[in-house]
């Protein structure tokens, strides 16, 4: 079986409005953390956009698309619950 080549999706590829070092460098100050958080939020939003438009993806089976959507949803749900917990803890502090 050969691996099929897939073109790089611009929705999740290189993003000029996101600092190129996000994920590669460690932010040290609160302001640096905020910049990285904003950039990561933009990346996540683009991943969400991509997965919501998965029906347009050519050359991928319906089963593969279904599985990707299910896994993505489960991971996003876990993330949202964790972030909500942080938000609530901060409001109660």
Query: Does the pTM exceed 0.75?
Result: no
- pLDDT (tens, 9 = 90+) of the chain, 93 residues, equals 444 444 444 444 444 466 676 767 888 999 989 988 999 999 999 999 999 999 998 998 999 999 999 999 999 999 999 999 999 999 998
**Helix 30-52, helix 62-92: angle, nearest 10:** 150
Residue 29 has what DSSP assignment?
A: S
What's the gap between Cα 12 and its chain centre? 8
d(CA 44, CA 5) in angstroms, rounded, equals: 24
At 83, which helix (H) or strand (E)? Answer: helix 62-92
Q: Which of 42, 71, 40 is nearest to 54 (CA)?
A: 71
């Amino acid at each position: 079986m050969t691996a099929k080549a897939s073109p790089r999706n611009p929705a999740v590829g290189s993003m000029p409005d996101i600092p190129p070092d996000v994920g590669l460098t460690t932010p040290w100050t609160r302001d640096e953390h905020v910049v990285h958080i904003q950039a990561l939020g933009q990346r996540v939003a683009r991943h969400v956009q991509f997965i919501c438009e998965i029906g347009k993806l050519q050359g991928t089976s319906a089963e593969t698309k279904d599985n990707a959507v299910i896994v993505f949803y489960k991971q996003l749900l876990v993330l949202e619950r964790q972030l909500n917990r942080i938000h609530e803890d901060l409001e109660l502090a």
